[in-house]
Amino acid sequence: MVESNEAHLDGVFHALADPTRRRLLERLAAGERKVGELAEPFPMSLAAVSKHVRVLEQAGLVERRIEGRAHYCRLQPQPLAAAEQWLSFYESFWNQRLNALEAALKAAPNGKPPEEEKADERR
């Protein structure tokens, strides 16, 4: 079960790693669109945009609905929530580290860490 979740998260981060796919998701945040509408602002072929959409689908970030020849895409935010949850651990980790650094700097005379003050004294 854990391996499956990790593989799914890997797919989400892989999909988000590409700037074109991130822009596609931004456009889908405004609502459902046809693939052709999604492709309009990009300097690439419809086939290339479709490949990006496929990667987003495989990551679970996009759901595609077909009506006749029209392919409609809709954002599926649940995988983004899983990625955000994973990232929040590291946000908390770095916030704690930065808070500790801030406290140490405030406690040091002249706002300098002790190592830097010793170096100043030797000069």
pLDDT in tens, 23-48: 999 999 999 999 999 999 999 999 99
Per-residue pLDDT at 1: 40
Share of the chain above pLDDT 90, in %: 58
Cβ(66)–Cβ(31) under 8 Å?
A: no
Of 8 and 122, more confident: 8
Domains of the chain by residue range? 2-76, 85-122
d(CA 13, CA 54): 15
Q: Are strands 62-67 and 70-75 parallel, antiparallel or unpaired?
A: antiparallel
Name the token pair of 63. 């759901």
- Quickly state the pLDDT bin for 104 (edges 50, 70, 90): confident
Name the burial class of residue 19, with classes exposed (0-12), middle (13-18) and buried (19+) by CB atoms within 10 angstroms of its CB. Answer: exposed
**Which CATH number among 2.40.50.140, 3.40.50.1100, 1.10.10.10, 1.20.1740.10 corresponds to the domain 2-76?**
1.10.10.10
